[in-house]
Chains A and B, each alone.
Chain A
Amino acid sequence: MYLALGLLGLTLIAGIFYKVSTGSGRSIQRSQIIDLARLGAHQNGQPVTDPGKSATLLLFSTEYCGRCPAVRRSLAEIESRTEGVLHADVDLTDRIDVAAKFNISQTPTVFILNPKGEVTFRVSGVPKPGLIQQELTKLGIK
């Protein structure tokens, strides 16, 4: 009986930990420059090769990722109302090498790149509402 309660408690703690940590993101201190062309980044099927003037929002998704389309829409929406911000997609379905290189273990994953193409911030899971906008504001982008 106590073991069953213990299992329930452990599972609840794991679930709460997941809810708190998912989509919170973290800053990246040092990063190499990401070659968007080599990643096969695209926007609505059009290849994206150059980073955005002020920032790039890079979404890693897969064909079977259920929550990615909603994230894609929200990134596109930020792009449309923010000067110099570009959003692009990378499909990991057949690019497991990319997932391994950047240590991506779940989709959606979102990277924020600076104008040089370096990763400054990354989020695993669906970003919490307003998080991406808040990070862009921190970078001085409005």
Chain B
Amino acid sequence: MSAELIDPRGPRFGAAITSALSLTAFGIAVSAPGGFFTAYPLIVLLAVLFSWSVFSPKTHPYGLVFKKLVRPRLAAPSELEDSRPPQFAQKVGLGFALLGLVGFWFAPVLVAVSAGFIFFAAFLNAFFNFCLGCQMYLGLKRFGLVR
């Protein structure tokens, strides 16, 4: 894969939106009876957004909003980052979204589990600059699970 350099604040901006969406989904899912059903469309939305970053990161709405509205207001980045770890993290996110998307039809509670995991990872990424998926990249490589 090509080593492309990106502004590291881009993925964090996206993660902030993802964490708001997933916390909303989690909140709806665990609050009301039948919440799993009400929250399901949000899981579908998250799955679409993650798939978009995995398959066509350049056209992703988060990226476009960041480029048009956010980055012009920020100072130049002190350092550019390799796009591979955040890209990998998006695949991990997609994996969890699929857990909710598909798992719902077998056990509706998986909607809450899925939203909970997505929120945990996205919030740490956005507000603590800790990218769980990126850390997993080296860890999983160590165990030979990704190439």
Contacts and interface: CB of A to CB of B under 8 A. Distances in A.
B135 interface: yes
A26 interface: no
Nearest to A94: B141
B127 A4 contact: no
Interface size range on B against A? 20 to 34
Contacts of A16: 128
Contacts, number: 73
Contacts of B79: 66-67, 69-70
B27 interface: yes
Given A11-B120, A15-B123, A15-B130, A4 B142 contact: no
Contact of A62 (B8, B130, B138, B144): B138
Contacts of A100: 142
A67 B116 CA distance: 28
Contact of A4 (B27, B135, B144): B27
B23 interface: yes
Contact of B138 (A8, A19, A107): A107
A7 B3 contact: no
The secondary-structure label for the interface of chain B is helix
A92 B142 CA distance: 10
A92 B135 CA distance: 14
Contact of A11 (B84, B85, B119, B135): B119
B26 A4 contact: yes
B139 interface: yes
Contacts of A99: 138, 141-142
A64 B139 contact: no
28 contacts: A1-B27, A3-B26, A3-B31, A4-B30, A7-B26, A11-B119, A11-B124, A15-B123, A15-B124, A18-B124, A18-B128, A22-B130, A62-B138, A64-B3, A64-B82, A64-B84, A64-B137, A65-B82, A66-B80, A66-B81, A66-B82, A69-B79, A96-B141, A99-B141, A99-B142, A105-B139, A106-B138, A106-B139
